[in-house]
Structure 1
Amino acid sequence: MPGSFGLAAEHDRVGASQRWQSGKFEVRWHRHGFEIGQHRAGVYRPLLAPPPNQPLIAASKAHLLHRENRGSFSIKFGPEPFSEQIEILKAIPRNHSLSLSGRLVGQGQQASFRLELQMRDSQQLGMSLKVDGAASLRLQLKLDPQAYYRGLGAQPSRLELRGGRYEMLAQEAGIGRGAQPLSSLVNLVSPGSAGHAGTSYYPQPVFW
């Protein structure tokens, strides 16, 4: 199915709000952000949108600080802050793909990024992100309250993903996974082995 475009042409600098559509998916963007939506019965609904006053994508030079015990990880981020704003400087739309590039900025730091969106078939939109110099990335989402979100690999605690925080790190799923008092008792004997609702043997950055 051919794509349809808003105001952007190849190598255009980004100014006013613009859009790109391919199949049922639509991406809307302006200089300081973007969102991904879907058309259902002729009505546009946002699927992936940034939370209020936060960027959809955030990056940091902070490396993960972790401690491992029997296949379970205790994870903290280093002291370096995550970016606070996104600036989209260039958009290159094509029939079945869209490239957005610019920089992530915050607290005196900035990093260049390139986001590639590609229609894989009529039901799948692939996303590839590269951020120069980043050690950690976050995808921060405000989700459609009328849609269901499933996936992210094997997530045994939840079928519906809204309201959770998920680390794309393969580790032991855990015994208890946050349920009390079992999780506290397991962690007393083997710190970290209880896991939590987002730990998984097989995480995947794919959802629907």
Structure 2
Amino acid sequence: MNRERGSVVVIVSFFIVLFVTLLAFIVNVGYLSATKNIYENAAEAAAMAGSARLCDGDAINVAGQIAIENGAPEGSVSVTLGFFDDDSDQFYPEGTIPEGEYKNAVMVSISSDVPTILGAFLGKEKTKVLAKAVAYAESCGFLALGENSEIRIGPSGSSIDQPLLKNGVIYSNGDIKLARGATCSSWWGSRTYLPPAFENAELYA
């Protein structure tokens, strides 16, 4: 009789341990899945926020801040600017952007070591959780004018046109290309168009 009771205790103990282990595994997987979902949402929000700031040069700082505000741990966020080719669905980081293209995309990567519930049993207390997102924008640029800014097309009555930007700022997420000078002739005479001139102006590209 005592032998049978001992066998029952062993069997019950085995199933209790098995049940607790299985429960811990399910909770652990759910926790890691929820954490990864948070990181993915944070990466997507950060990438979109960063792509909206490509023109003013603040994309990296904005993306990093948005990622942290949405649940990414401090020190876990990496932001990379580059070019996203919509046709090939490929991201080219700075330094590898194809010739003639421009920075139109932000990649946000989040990598963090997350504690595991079964760490004591598996000998691995933390598991690395990764998330990555890319957002891109079309070529954009804008001109910022202040109280003392001026835009002039050309001297009145002159046969030479040369646009002038004074005390202004131009932002662009691509190269700023200036038109070359040209002279056009017609029945009323000729007119020369020169590349734009800048006076106390700043260009950010």
TM category, shorter: under 0.3
Larger Rg: 2
TM-score, normalised with respect to structure 2 = 0.27
Structure 1 or 2: larger helix share?
Answer: 2
